[in-house]
Amino acid sequence: MIAFIASRLISTLIVVLGVICMVFLLIHFIPGDPVDMMLGESARTVDREALREALGLNRPLGVQLWSYITSLFQGNLGTSLHHRIPVSDLLAERLPATIELAVAALLIAVAIAFPLGIVAALKKGKAMDKVSMAVSMIGVSIPNFLFGPVLILLFSIWAGWFPVSGRDGWSSLVLPAVTLGTALAAVLSRMIRSTLLDVLQEDYIRTARAKGCSKVQVVLHHAMRNAMLPIITLLGLQLGVLLGGAVITETVFSWPGIGKLMIDSINSRDYPVVQACVLLISLSYVFVNMLTDLAYAWLDPRIRFGDR
Amino acid sequence: MKSWGLSFWLIILWLLAAVLSQFMVLDITHIDLEKILQGPDWNNWLGYDDLGRSVFNRLLDGTWTSCIVALTVISVSLITGTLIGTASAYAGGITDLVVVRIIDIFLAFPGILLAIALAGIMGAGIENVIVALSIVGWVGFARLARAQTLSIKHREHIVAARSLGTGHLKIIVKHIIPMLTTPILIEATFGIASIIIAEAGLSFLGLGVQAPDASWGSMIRDGTRYMLVAPHLVLIPGTALMIVILSINLLGDRLRDWLDIRSQLRIQRES
Amino acid sequence: MNMVVRVIGCLFWLTTLVSCSQPDSQSIRFGLASAAISLDPRYATDASSVRINRLLYQRMVDFDDQYRPIPSLASWKKISNKHYRFTLTSEPGNFIGGQQLRASDVKATYDFILNKKNVSPHRGSLSKIIRIDVIDDKTIDFILSHPDPLFPGYLVIGIVPESVVKKHIRLDKKPQGSGSFRFVDWPGQDRLIIERRRDKQRIEFLHVQDPTVRVLKLIRGEVDIIQNDLPVELVRFLETKPSLRTEYLEGSNFTYLGLNMQHPDLKKHAVRQAIAHAIDRAKLVRYMMSAKTKLATGLLPPYHWAGIKTTNPYDYNPAKARHLLASAGYTKLNPLTLEYKTSGDPLQIRIATIIQQQLKDAGIQLTLRSLDWATVYGDIKSGRFQLYSLSWVGIKLPDIFRYVFYSKSVPPAGANRGRYNNVEVDRLLDLAEQEYNIQGRIQYYRKLQNLLLQDLPYVPLWYKANVAIMASDLKGYRLAKDGNYDGLELISKGGSL
């Protein structure tokens, strides 16, 4: 188990370093100058070079990359060129919003997907199955930059129940979380259905039924336990999709999270912030993957207790 | 199985519309300032956009965009990804290790960010969207092909073929690739749907197709600006997008069920 | 029964307590399209920050309706061409600690900016100052390297306390000014609270980027007033709402079409004239811009003290445009093709698309390239463009002409992005520079502007109007021509005076 964790950590580190370098090089090669973005149209140009020098932007790219990596290891993420505050402060300000959105979306997804998927599996072939799968199919087919505006149209503009965008109060969380969550729910419910169906075919299920366990017991205790493995794996992988979907959802709803911060920073060529956002997103993605592997290993007694 | 019929025909309609739109003399640029943001009328059943242009014409033009991007990207990703994944798994050793790391790095990279960055370097526009999405897309196929190849590599008929001295290339082409067809085909079908969504998403963020070309994604984005006064600008391209993606997903589902049954039958016959 | 009455009574009493203790219900909420970035006037350059800083800080000099500099904090006397003496008004404001603003604060602020090490973006405009001397608490001298009759007009930067400068404090997030408003709080990026000193009226600046959301918030009463940055359709939509009031004022921010003067086609004067005749500006303004948008003839509006009052010789005349192009050698088989670069801003793209259509009627094939703003701006500055459209915001002084049209003012030295090189223009600019008498200078500026209108390195489009939409119970707000928020000094809500 320790060896397993260690090897995962090392490969994770390599991947993360690779990501950092790639992002750094990419963002610096994009045309467009952050100093211009900062100073704006009408500002005089006399001290542009001085500002560039003060920010360290005139050093060779390799030097800048090295300096960035070394300060990373000291826990310094740099200062935002645009907002003039330390990047770590900016991230700390924005991160709760994204976490709030992601958790709410996840809860909604689970709340919709599990019942939908389980019922569909149990009533396979019948009307309930067809309906649930149709609903989830539609959910998969509507991208969130479409679903979001439609929800806004229906529930904000016409009905006036929820605010259109921004983040103030619980009611403003509803529409973005529903947008993000339903997309995940659609995928999840199909996965739950198919995994459960596979598990229900297994011998031990038939044995449990033959033993006289009620259907509910069978499903909950035996089937779901074994289905959890692939479901958790999928959930972990879906986090990447969730984070990607969060970028668009945050843009649609002007939700002040990391995703929107990243888009805004790319547009203003705020290099330190872009690098930090990407670092954060890929780190969390990689971290969740690692957690998934660990959970997988723990849930599967074959791995937990080693081969015997 | 009614779904099979309807979704199939809808996709055919989409493809036809895409091709036809290139031959029709569509005036997607005719501006009529009097008609800005107006809804449907007798001349234009789908209304007018923020410059008084016909929504119907632009919608039709958008079918070409979504079509060409989807088909090009999927072909490139599929071929590149499958080749790399298969070769890597087959070769094993250091090559495989390196390729796996590279795949991991790409996967740890939020796809959107990579596409945005590439669009920024190369400039926005259809061609660059295709390139960016292909670069992001090959990874999925590579991973799938690699996983499948790994499990097939040690099967008896492969080992037998090797011991007979069959060349590597022949083995890959004749034995391994055919066994990949099913999962790859299914991945491709769903891949097309997600590419259409991705292209629309990039256009929505302002990085894909640029004005004055039309893409459903950019039409939706432009439409959200006027949601208060002209909701049809969001709803019409949105509905079109949803119908096409839904049809493709349904088709993919049917395809998977059909191919699964076939492989199950084959296994039954072989055993 | 008694008990019930008592409980209800208690509840009523509690609710009144609660509503009394909510100070925010009386604050006026102003919706901003872009958030302020820095409230340190020595560094702020973006529009929102600069406009809010005008409320928080005092400045030496301000401008009247013709953009002539007038005393704000101080009046001045010209001791010699290079020596100005400023005398602070009798009642300058107080800083946070209570200490009154003194000449040493002014010196400290300007010395800080002039110091290269501090990398202030405002240093360039002050480069002629060699020395600042404090004579006493209310008197301060500025010594220049060269005479410059425009000089007082440069002293528009908000004054910060001397103690702040001495202690090397940056005021980006915690401003310390002596203006008519004092800073209260800035809890998150999107909410900035200031308080009017004279009557404790609070103003909250709420950052709402999306125009649709801003409009909805206004309709719902979550925001009380919004200004500019709205597509014209939404403004018209708001005009129909009975609970809101819409006000317009003509503006001074100049929108233009920039041409690359080194391009072989655009070098030809006939081509530039053709383009000017081919654009139907009136139609563009009618459909794309709000009411009170005025067509422009030059960088400075006609009511500017150095501006010119003239009619635009380039009326909308596609036939004349075609004729001009034919005379320059372009035919149907050999049409003029040009590329127009624009940012991703939806309004810019719409305007560009309409211009594309209009030029087509005159026989010019225009291709549009829409890129993200950072890329476009970089391309414009480096000369990688043929046509583009931008606006000059907040221009007060005629030294802008040298900055934009002098042949040596190519970026990064200046803003001559089109690489314009006109010997006569350079000569007039040099003459103006040498002329230390304001009346004399005006003559050169006038000749210059007429020449520019005739030569067309820019095709002038319009001056953007300002529009403010507010809840109908708001009184006293006045728009300003350059879009600033000074009207907040007089605004009041509801029945209160």
Cα distance between residue B270 and residue A28, in whole Å: 58
Task: Tell me, yes or no, whether C393 and C315 share the same domain.
Answer: yes
3-state helix, strand, coil in chain A (%, to 5): 80, 0, 20
pLDDT band per the 50, 70, 90 thresholds, residue A289: confident
The candidate with the shortest Cα–Cα distance to C429, out of C458, C459, C409, C410, is C409
Task: Tell me, yes or no, whether C19 and C62 share the same domain.
Answer: no
Does the pLDDT of residue C372 top 80, yes or no? no
Does the pLDDT of residue C417 top 60, yes or no? yes
Cβ separation B124–C370 shorter than 8 A? yes
Q: Is C200 left (phi over 0), alpha (psi -120 to 50) or beta?
A: left
**d(CA C213, nearest CA chain A) in Å:** 6
By Cβ distance, the residue of A150, A157, A278 closest to B228 is A157
Q: Pick from A47-51, B176-180, B261-265, C487-491 the range whose average pLDDT is largest.
A: C487-491
pLDDT tens digits along C2-50: 666 665 555 555 544 443 333 356 899 999 998 898 899 999 888 899 9
Q: Tell me, what's the pLDDT at B66? A: 85
Q: Tell me, what's the pLDDT at C493? A: 86
By Cβ distance, the residue of B101, B204, B224 closest to A15 is B101
Average pLDDT over residues A107-111: 91
Residues of C in contact with A156 (CB under 8 A): 216
Report the interhelical angle of C423-434 vs C438-455 (nearest 10°): 170
Cβ separation A256–C190 shorter than 8 A? yes
Who has greater pLDDT, C365 or A232?
C365
**d(CA A60, nearest CA chain C) in Å:** 20
Does the pLDDT of residue A39 top 70, yes or no? no
Residue C2 is assigned to a structural domain of this protein: no
The candidate with the shortest Cα–Cα distance to C289, out of C465, C491, C148, is C465
Cβ separation C346–B206 shorter than 8 A? no
Cβ separation A31–C127 shorter than 8 A? no
Q: Tell me, what's the pLDDT at C195? A: 95
B252 touches A: beta carbon within 8 Å:
no
Average pLDDT over residues C66-93: 91
Residue C97 is assigned to a structural domain of this protein: yes
Cα distance between residue A1 and residue A3, in whole Å: 5
Q: Tell me, what's the pLDDT at C496? A: 46
Contact criterion met (CB below 8 Å) for B187 and B141: yes
pLDDT band per the 50, 70, 90 thresholds, residue B39: confident
Contact criterion met (CB below 8 Å) for B18 and B68: yes
Cα distance between residue B24 and residue B35, in whole Å: 23
**CATH number of the domain encompassing residue C378:** 3.10.105.10
To test the contact with chain A by mutation, choose from C34, C210, C379, C389 the residue with the greatest count of A C-beta atoms within 10 A, namely C210
| Residue where a domain stops, chosen among C109, C142, C166 | C166
Residue C422 is assigned to a structural domain of this protein: yes
Residues of B in contact with A23 (CB under 8 A): 109, 113, 117
Contact criterion met (CB below 8 Å) for C99 and C161: yes
Contact criterion met (CB below 8 Å) for B143 and B191: no
Does the pLDDT of residue B67 top 90, yes or no? no
| Residue where a domain stops, chosen among C141, C166, C191 | C166
Cβ separation A31–C379 shorter than 8 A? yes
Residues 21-50 of B with CB under 8 A from A: none
Q: What are phi and psi of C255, to 5 degrees?
A: -105, 135
In chain C, the N- to C-terminal Cα span, in Å, equals: 44
pLDDT band per the 50, 70, 90 thresholds, residue A45: low
Task: Tell me, yes or no, whether C30 and C98 share the same domain.
Answer: no
**d(CA C466, nearest CA chain A) in Å:** 19
Q: Range with the lowest mean pLDDT among A48-62, A68-82, B188-202?
A: A48-62
- Total beta-carbon pairs less than 8 A apart between chain A and chain B: 111
Contact criterion met (CB below 8 Å) for A101 and A255: yes
To test the contact with chain A by mutation, choose from C24, C34, C45, C397 the residue with the greatest count of A C-beta atoms within 10 A, namely C45
Q: Pick from A121-135, B89-103, C130-144, C370-384 the range whose average pLDDT is largest.
A: C130-144
pLDDT tens digits along C102-112: 999 999 999 99
Residue C23 is assigned to a structural domain of this protein: yes
Residue C386 is assigned to a structural domain of this protein: yes
CA atoms within 13 A on the CB side of B126: 17
Residue C136 is assigned to a structural domain of this protein: yes
Cβ separation C237–B229 shorter than 8 A? yes
Chain-wide mean pLDDT for chain B? 80
Task: Tell me, yes or no, whether C214 and C363 share the same domain.
Answer: no
Residue-number span of the structural domain to which C23 is assigned: 12-38+179-243+472-493
Residues of B in contact with A14 (CB under 8 A): 101
Does the pLDDT of residue A307 top 50, yes or no? no
For residue B251, give the chain A residue with the closest CA: A137
By Cβ distance, the residue of B31, B37, B230 closest to C357 is B31
Cβ separation B117–A15 shorter than 8 A? no
Cα distance between residue C184 and residue C173, in whole Å: 11
Q: Tell me, what's the pLDDT at C390? A: 92
Residues 6+ apart with CB under 8 A from B165: none
Q: Range with the lowest mean pLDDT among B188-202, B249-263, C247-261?
A: B249-263
Total structural domains within chain C: 3
Does the pLDDT of residue B268 top 70, yes or no? no
Our separate counts of H helices and E strands in chain A read: 14, 0
Cα distance between residue A262 and residue A247, in whole Å: 8
Task: Tell me, yes or no, whether C120 and C206 share the same domain.
Answer: no
**d(CA C94, nearest CA chain B) in Å:** 44
Q: Tell me, what's the pLDDT at B266? A: 65
By Cβ distance, the residue of A143, A266, A282 closest to B108 is A282
Q: Which residues pair with C468 in a beta bridge?
A: C227, C247
Residue C75 is assigned to a structural domain of this protein: yes
Q: What are phi and psi of B38, to 5 degrees?
A: -85, 155
**Structure-block tokens of residue C254:** 């100049």
Chain-wide mean pLDDT for chain C? 89
For residue A82, give the chain C residue with the closest CA: C37
Q: Which residues pair with C61 in a beta bridge?
A: C71
Q: Tell me, what's the pLDDT at C103? A: 92
Does the pLDDT of residue C318 top 80, yes or no? yes
Cα distance between residue C53 and residue C194, in whole Å: 11
Residues of A in contact with C414 (CB under 8 A): 45
ipTM: 0.75
Does the pLDDT of residue A70 top 60, yes or no? yes
Cβ separation A11–B111 shorter than 8 A? no
Element (H, E) at C356: helix C346-361
Cα distance between residue C214 and residue C231, in whole Å: 12
Cβ separation C233–B210 shorter than 8 A? no
To test the contact with chain C by mutation, choose from A42, A152, A269 the residue with the greatest count of C C-beta atoms within 10 A, namely A42
CA distances from A128 to A192, C165, C385 (A): 15, 72, 61
Average pLDDT over residues C410-420: 88
Q: Give residue for tokens 């035919």.
A: C331
Contact criterion met (CB below 8 Å) for C407 and C420: yes
Who has greater pLDDT, A307 or C100?
C100
**Structure-block tokens of residue B158:** 């492969």
Who has greater pLDDT, A34 or C343?
C343
Residues of C in contact with B33 (CB under 8 A): 283, 286-287, 354
Task: Tell me, yes or no, whether C221 and C192 share the same domain.
Answer: yes
Who has greater pLDDT, C67 or A7?
C67
Residues of A in contact with C120 (CB under 8 A): 47
Q: Give residue for tokens 């605004």.
A: C491
| Residue where a domain stops, chosen among C145, C166, C187 | C166
Against chain C, the chains showing at least 3 CB pairs within 8 Å are A, B
Residues 6+ apart with CB under 8 A from C11: none
For chain C, the farthest-separated pair of C-alpha atoms sits apart, in whole angstroms, at: 99
**d(CA A214, nearest CA chain B) in Å:** 30
Task: Tell me, yes or no, whether C217 and C153 share the same domain.
Answer: no
**Structure-block tokens of residue C231:** 């597509």
Does the pLDDT of residue B94 top 80, yes or no? yes
For residue C347, give the chain B residue with the closest CA: B50
Q: Is A213 left (phi over 0), alpha (psi -120 to 50) or beta?
A: beta
**Structure-block tokens of residue B124:** 């926005």
Within 10 Å of residue A230's Cβ, how many Cβ atoms? 17
Residue C333 is assigned to a structural domain of this protein: yes
Q: Is C328 left (phi over 0), alpha (psi -120 to 50) or beta?
A: alpha
pLDDT tens digits along C182-201: 999 998 778 999 999 999 99
By Cβ distance, the residue of C212, C233, C368 closest to B37 is C233
CA distances from C110 to A42, C155, C466 (A): 20, 9, 32
Cβ separation B229–C211 shorter than 8 A? no
**d(CA B24, nearest CA chain A) in Å:** 28
Task: Tell me, yes or no, whether C224 and C355 share the same domain.
Answer: no
**CATH number of the domain encompassing residue C146:** 3.90.76.10
Who has greater pLDDT, C244 or C23?
C244
The candidate with the shortest Cα–Cα distance to C389, out of C397, C380, C398, is C380
B113 touches A: beta carbon within 8 Å:
yes
Q: Tell me, what's the pLDDT at C497? A: 41
Does the pLDDT of residue C290 top 50, yes or no? yes
C415 touches A: beta carbon within 8 Å:
yes
**Structure-block tokens of residue A273:** 């912030």
Who has greater pLDDT, C475 or C11?
C475
**Structure-block tokens of residue C397:** 């002084």
Q: What are phi and psi of C407, to 5 degrees?
A: -60, -30
For chain B, the farthest-separated pair of C-alpha atoms sits apart, in whole angstroms, at: 77
Task: Tell me, yes or no, whether C137 and C118 share the same domain.
Answer: yes
Cβ separation A286–B108 shorter than 8 A? yes
Task: Tell me, yes or no, whether C238 and C312 share the same domain.
Answer: no
Residue percentage of chain C with pLDDT more than 90: 66
Task: Tell me, yes or no, whether C419 and C396 share the same domain.
Answer: yes
By Cβ distance, the residue of B31, B226, B229 closest to C354 is B31
**d(CA A162, nearest CA chain C) in Å:** 11
Element (H, E) at C460: strand C458-471
**CATH number of the domain encompassing residue C233:** 3.40.190.10
Does the pLDDT of residue C277 top 50, yes or no? yes
By Cβ distance, the residue of B206, B222, B225 closest to C211 is B225
Cα distance between residue C417 and residue C400, in whole Å: 13
Chain-wide mean pLDDT for chain A? 78
pLDDT band per the 50, 70, 90 thresholds, residue A271: confident
Contact criterion met (CB below 8 Å) for C445 and C399: no
Q: Helix H segments across C57-184?
A: 103-114, 162-166
Q: Tell me, what's the pLDDT at C23? A: 38
Cα distance between residue C277 and residue C317, in whole Å: 5
Residues of C in contact with B225 (CB under 8 A): 211-212, 231, 346
Task: Tell me, yes or no, whether C276 and C294 share the same domain.
Answer: yes
Q: Tell me, what's the pLDDT at C21? A: 33
For C253, the 3-state DSSP assignment is: strand
By Cβ distance, the residue of A143, A145, A285 closest to B108 is A285
Residue C311 gets which letter from DSSP? -
Residue percentage of chain C with pLDDT more than 70: 94
